[in-house]
Structure 1
Amino acid sequence: MASSGGFLFGYDSGLMGAIITFASLQEDFRYGKGVATKTNSLVVGIQQAGAFVGCWAISLIAARYGRRQAIMVCSAVPLTHGLPAFYVGRVVSGLGLGGSSVIISVFSSENAPKEIRGRLGSFYQLMYTFGIFTAYWVDYAVAKLMVPVTHCPAALLGIGMLTVTESVRWLVQQGRHEEAWESLTWIRADDSEETRAELKEIQVSIAEEQAARSGFQYRELLERDNFKRLSIGVIVFLCQQSVGATALAYYGPQFFKILVGAGPSNLLLTAIFGAVKIVACGTFVLFFAERIGRKSALIGGGVFMSICMIIITIVTKVRPPPGGGVVTSSGIATVALIYANIMAYNFSWGPLPWPIVSEIFPARIKVGVATGVGSQWLWNFMYSFSVSYMMAAMNEYIFLFFGVADIFVVLFTIFVLKETRGLSLEEVQDIYSSDPATTKRFSGASVPGSEVETASIDKAGEKAEPV
């Protein structure tokens, strides 16, 4: 339910990518073809600017009122009309999307058992692809209309969060141990000794984290290991945006126009593109997320995507589409390569950056997660705003640009990232630390002069002996 915020993000992204090609948009908002590139860039990109602000602002609400309330706040989306109001609405909806992307990741990781943390962390990306899939087919169905189809997913997220309980870890942080016990037994559907032991472990962990964060100052982020983690979190999402999949999601019909020429089939090809995305991402999340190494998946995905993009550039340059709706073998080949490319993305750089960034930061600098996710929206804005201009200037060479970017992404993965599949959060900190003693201090494993005490909860929900 929480990850339906990813559906909202994908639905909006897919919807706008096609709507900006509709003649009805130009007619309703009264702008000419001479400013179409500028308008398209603003319509798509300005929302990401709002999301960049929102992912930081929402932390204040989440800390005080809880993860559940914060997600509900993020689901608010305005109804607007007229081009200036439309821009404002895009920014405001971006605030909600950006905030939800941070809080949903935190909410999921705080409630997930470590055995399936990677799978649940990837559900946001799965719901994102499902949102794009739905939007593409809505676009195909209403190509001649301009209808208010953007608000139902936001309402689903806001109302749906009423059906779930608050984050167990946040409740423990607030000292609300009985509510934490009730929430944990609800989400685990179990009140056995194993669940009580899990609550005790969470209580001890929270006490250690609070001790670890005591006296934290932001300048600590510039310390060697902290700055390294911060840089990795930022660059991982730069890599995710640089492989070209987000650009394809936003500007699908325009990309297919480069491959097969202008024609009504572009919306259909984009809709099929969305179906391929969801099948690939769903297959990965449900069957492969916890079975293959994350680093191996990122390297393999990057290499495969690079090969696809480079071949597309060559074929499109040698055999350009004839136009007029004529389908050629080279056009079919390039479309197939685009579909293969997006399958590789959804087995690698689509779902994996989210759990990777959420787990590399120790408790003392957990603010780094917001920094990493916030940078995702910055890079998203950069590409969503510039791709329209890039396509106008580069034409088929835009595929070569993404193919070369894939090579740099692979090199970054080989030389910088570590394998973290199946490791506990403490073990992840060890492999990213140059000083094991520093790792222990950051994780709260050893706090000199202190004795961690926390109340456990018995089966009836009452306080028992301290741990």
Structure 2
Amino acid sequence: TPPECLFFFGASSHSPFVGLQVRSWMHLQVVKVCGFAAVGALFFGIDLSNWAGASNKEDFLELFCWGGGFDLTPEGHANCLSGVGSRQSQAWANAVGLMAGALQMGAATASLVVAPIVSDQFGRKCCLWTGCGVGTAGITVACLSRTVQVMVVGRFVLGMGAGLVSYGLPMYTSEVSPKDSRGAMTSLFQLFTAVGVVIGAVINVPRRWPWWVPFAVPVVPAGVLAIGLLFLPESPRWLLKQNRYDEAMAVLTYLRSDTPEAIHSELEEIESAIRQEEAAAAESSWLDLCAAGVWQRVGVAVGLQIFQQLTGINIVVAFGSLFFRSAGLTGDKAILGTLLTSCGALAGIVLLLTSIDRFGRRSVLLSSSTVLFASITTAGIIGVTAPAGPMSPTLGWIMIGDMILFQFGFALGWGAIPWVYPSEIFTLRTKARGMAVSVSAQFTTNFIVVYGFPNVNKVIGIYNVCFVLAGFIALSGVFVLIFLPETMGIALEDMDALFGSSTVPPKAERTMGLGPPPVGSESIEEQSKPQLKL
């Protein structure tokens, strides 16, 4: 019988789902648990997108730009607001980049230093709880700030909360999900992030609302998640690692629509993997990430997160209204453009959820890179070939359509898979630190891109930036082709074989283009053949 707190979700020892043989991705309790936990991604998504509109409200500019003395020229009002980088003062470009990027630096700090300790020692739920509390504190400071310096502090603290949530959430969903629906359930993080991005754009549409309202809205999903965590189960893997077998059994019974024998078998499989890892070393350390078969995973996980940011997605998200203003769309039309592109992201993530566990991670990423490259290159060509002066309304709306395609392409693969893939390739012993390095790389690159964009935009212009991003997107496709093995349908306990830490290769390694089978043999159990090392 599941723990009493789980009856909040309708669990029952007399549930009609007990013993019902259905596809595991339809497991009702897994969907409930992962879906509710993914509310934390709303908090993350709103924080990513609310900056674009709120930072361009006139009361925000009056307080921070003009009031802060960053542009004292007669045209200061227009210069602060303009999407044309050359019209903004260098000091204000730096201040905007610092305020926008402080969130990413806070997230990187939390994911590398704080989140691994909290997640390993106190559990995945505690990591999410802490993120909600720290994030709420940061929101409070940001909303009460009256100078650029205080705003930077508030967004840094907010970023630490976002980093804790974004670190713990993919790990939690991957550990409570069965392997054949793990990709889809972990992708809920990106789905809810996309919904949060849309919400962040919507709350910026009413121009009469003060600048601090969009910054305050993320408190709502943070509070909902904090309360909901009281009723969610802890990760069964983490419970087993703490030798809390009965609790792990109760949680797994609640989560699976399987026979007791199947549940017991899965539990034994997880426990066996944990014990083998613990027997290999009494304590884990950062040096474990340098071991054979592990450093390859670290490199792949870090590479995915870096290339995710080099697609330029957070330039579009954080500075979308400036982008559209340079295309001749001003005022509410620029905010509307940001809202429409966010809806394109929603369509992409819905398609991803139906394809990630059907076509695999590699194919989906390559498709995503193709769409991103085509859309961002087209945007650059339109921008540099358009007649001098403001674009015509027709070209402006064509640009919006192109950015909708860009957001769709990003959500189709690069939005979610850099979170899904690292959460499923590390062993329990290395997962916390491996995920910490991965998430830290994501937010560090995010900060570099967001902080650097206003200055780069000032020097070369936004449409030349598009061509730079197209080059990075092309490199991302090459990276996927060369370095990413397919993980679809492979149990977490079999990743050692895939990455060369074991002599037993999983079957998928020989069927996903990762190398031929051993000559003269088709047996997966044959251990005498040399294995592929990435």
Tell me the TM-score normalised to structure 2 length.
0.77
Q: Residue 294 of structure 1 is aligned with which of 356, 361, 375?
A: 361
Q: Residue 368 of structure 1 is aligned with which of 405, 430, 434?
A: 434
Q: Does 1:19 align with 2:84?
A: no
Aligned to 1:393: 459
CA contact (8 A) 1:54 1:95 kept: yes
Q: Does 1:196 align with 2:264?
A: yes
Q: Does 1:310 align with 2:377?
A: yes
Structure 1 residues 241 and 63: alpha-carbon distance in aligned structure 2, compared to 1, 3 A threshold: same
1:225 counterpart SS class: coil
* 1:361-408 Cα distance to aligned partner (Å, 9 max, x none): 234433222211221111111111111222222221111111111111
- Paired with 1:397 and 1:383, the residues of 2 have a C-alpha distance of 15
Aligned to 1:61: 118
Aligned to 1:8: 43
- Paired with 2:160 and 2:336, the residues of 1 have a C-alpha distance of 31
Structure 1 residues 122 and 156: alpha-carbon distance in aligned structure 2, compared to 1, 3 A threshold: same
1:165 counterpart SS class: coil
Deviation at 1:217, TM superposition (A): 4.4
Point out the more displaced range, 123-132 or 390-399. Answer: 390-399
CA contact (8 A) 1:51 1:95 kept: yes
Structure 1 residues 239 and 212: alpha-carbon distance in aligned structure 2, compared to 1, 3 A threshold: same
CA contact (8 A) 2:376 2:470 kept: yes
Point out the more displaced range, 228-237 or 123-132. Answer: 228-237
Q: Residue 349 of structure 2 is aligned with which of 270, 275, 281?
A: 281
Q: Residue 100 of structure 2 is aligned with which of 41, 44, 51?
A: 44
Residue type of the partner of 2:276? E
- Paired with 1:260 and 1:213, the residues of 2 have a C-alpha distance of 61
Aligned to 1:405: 472
1:166 counterpart SS class: coil
- Paired with 2:430 and 2:504, the residues of 1 have a C-alpha distance of 13
- Paired with 2:97 and 2:253, the residues of 1 have a C-alpha distance of 47
RMSD, matched Cα: 2.2
Residue type of the partner of 2:51? M
- Paired with 2:254 and 2:178, the residues of 1 have a C-alpha distance of 14
1:420 counterpart SS class: coil
Q: Does 1:168 align with 2:236?
A: yes
Deviation at 1:157, TM superposition (A): 1.7
Residue type of the partner of 1:389? N
Residue type of the partner of 1:163? F
Deviation at 1:113, TM superposition (A): 0.4
Number of aligned residue pairs: 436
Q: Residue 136 of structure 1 is aligned with which of 180, 201, 218?
A: 201
Deviation at 1:119, TM superposition (A): 0.8
Identity of aligned residues (%): 24
2:413 counterpart SS class: coil
Q: Does 1:256 align with 2:324?
A: yes
Tell me the TM-score normalised to structure 1 length.
0.87
* 1:306-342 Cα distance to aligned partner (Å, 9 max, x none): 122122111111115743xx74332222221111121
Structure 1 residues 283 and 142: alpha-carbon distance in aligned structure 2, compared to 1, 3 A threshold: farther
- Paired with 2:206 and 2:232, the residues of 1 have a C-alpha distance of 33
Aligned to 1:121: 186
- Paired with 1:13 and 1:143, the residues of 2 have a C-alpha distance of 21
2:488 counterpart SS class: coil
Deviation at 1:53, TM superposition (A): 1.1
- Paired with 2:371 and 2:351, the residues of 1 have a C-alpha distance of 18
Residue type of the partner of 1:236? L
Q: Residue 206 of structure 1 is aligned with which of 274, 281, 285?
A: 274
CA contact (8 A) 2:497 2:504 kept: no
Deviation at 1:220, TM superposition (A): 4.0
Point out the more displaced range, 414-423 or 131-140. Answer: 414-423
CA contact (8 A) 1:259 1:321 kept: no
CA contact (8 A) 2:273 2:493 kept: no
Q: Does 1:234 align with 2:302?
A: yes
Point out the more displaced range, 1-10 or 256-265. Answer: 256-265
Q: Residue 131 of structure 2 is aligned with which of 64, 69, 74?
A: 74
Point out the more displaced range, 348-357 or 23-32. Answer: 23-32
Q: Does 1:99 align with 2:156?
A: no
| Structure 1: stretches of 5+ with no match in the other structure | 441-467
Residue type of the partner of 2:368? G
